[in-house]
């Protein structure tokens, strides 16, 4: 892909399954809530990912504004609608990657909710790699995306860190307005594993390559969670790692979804851990202690996005 060829993708955007076809290059906003200009809300060390991603020094997380999913329970709602964040160029994004590596000493670059900026991110990664970016790059997404979009990233991503939110179309329709979620997530995950088929770790246990699939438990959705875990195990076996998350936190604005207005109980989480073990899942991560706290949500204050003023 030639430099700035990303612009043609913005003229009639079909990067995600929503297929808005809006002209983001002219400033129109799609379902993701953003235009064709990169918008990001934070670029800093992040310590709340899986241990093999965060390590001791932290993951160099770049939180992008906007999201094509629109989950009603979103924990990053402040930025997911595209209302918070600073506009930056591809050149600036490449410099942010290098700063996180060279000055912040991050274990990796962590692209958080990147789907709607994939063409620009691909350009920025090539630019940064030409200038000395060598740490692993993590693609942290919802999995609601197309193979064609992910294919632009081949050879640029070392670690895929996708969600697999739902299997049941009625649940995904109710909570994410995406009845077709599992259809696209299955294809996306297949492409991710094709690109990075084998997990690799260094001597300190930090992941260098591989796929970790996250599943967030939701209140009242135990049957669907079982279906997700069963699919992942039967399809990929030990080829992928699975991260079972209990950090669901009820957020303001879910009055129309009273069933979601509670946290996951310890017993519910134990049931799912036991089920995962019964399936034979050994390559995985679980969360211990009280993790359902808003403190896990960083301050989206623009840290690390714009150059420091002299």
Is residue 292 scored above 70 in pLDDT?
Answer: no
- The pLDDT of 105-120, averaged and rounded, is 97
Q: What is the pLDDT of residues 246-287, one digit of tens each?
A: 999 998 889 899 999 999 999 999 999 999 999 999 999 999
pLDDT in the model for residue 30: 92
d(CA 81, CA 5): 26
Which pLDDT value is given to residue 78? 81
Tell me what pLDDT residue 253 has.
81
**pLDDT tens sequence across 177-233:** 999 999 999 999 999 999 999 999 999 999 999 999 999 999 999 999 999 999 999
* Cβ atoms of 46 and 54 closer than 8 Å: yes
Taking the whole predicted model, whether its pTM rises above 0.85 is answered as yes
Q: How many residues does the chain have?
A: 310
Q: Which of 235, 309, 225 is nearest to 273 (CA)?
A: 225
CA distances to 56, 142, 175, 297 from 51, rounded to whole Å, are 8, 20, 29, 17
- What's the alpha-carbon Rg for the chain, to the nearest Å? 18
């Amino acid at each position: 892909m030639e430099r700035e060829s990303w612009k043609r993708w913005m003229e009639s955007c079909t990067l995600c399954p929503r297929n808005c076809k809006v002209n983001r290059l002219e400033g129109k906003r799609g379902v993701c809530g953003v235009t064709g200009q990169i918008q990001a809300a934070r670029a800093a060390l992040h310590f709340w990912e899986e241990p093999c991603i965060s390590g001791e020094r932290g993951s160099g997380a770049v939180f992008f504004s906007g999201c094509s999913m629109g989950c009603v329970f979103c924990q990053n709602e402040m930025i997911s609608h595209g209302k918070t964040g600073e506009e930056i160029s591809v050149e600036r994004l490449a410099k942010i990657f290098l700063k996180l590596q060279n000055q912040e000493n991050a274990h990796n670059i962590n692209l958080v909710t990147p789907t709607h900026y994939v063409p620009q991110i691909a350009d920025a990664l090539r630019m940064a790699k030409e200038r000395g970016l060598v740490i692993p790059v993590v693609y942290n997404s919802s999995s609601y995306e197309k193979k064609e979009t992910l294919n632009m990233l081949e050879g640029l991503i070392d670690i895929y860190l996708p969600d697999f939110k739902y299997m049941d179309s009625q649940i995904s329709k109710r909570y994410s307005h995406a009845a077709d979620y599992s259809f696209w997530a299955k294809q996306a995950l297949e492409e991710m594993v094709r690109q990075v088929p084998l997990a690799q770790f260094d001597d300190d246990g930090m992941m260098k390559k591989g796929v970790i699939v996250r599943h967030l438990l939701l209140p009242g959705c135990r049957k669907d969670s079982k279906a997700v875990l069963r699919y992942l195990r039967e399809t990929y076996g030990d080829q992928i790692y699975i991260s079972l998350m209990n950090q669901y936190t009820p957020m303001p604005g879910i009055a129309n979804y009273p069933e979601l207005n509670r946290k996951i109980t310890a017993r519910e989480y134990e049931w799912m851990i036991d089920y995962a073990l019964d399936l034979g899942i050994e390559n995985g991560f679980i969360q211990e202690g009280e993790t359902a706290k808003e403190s896990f949500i960083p301050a989206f204050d623009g840290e690390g996005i714009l150059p420091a003023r002299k």
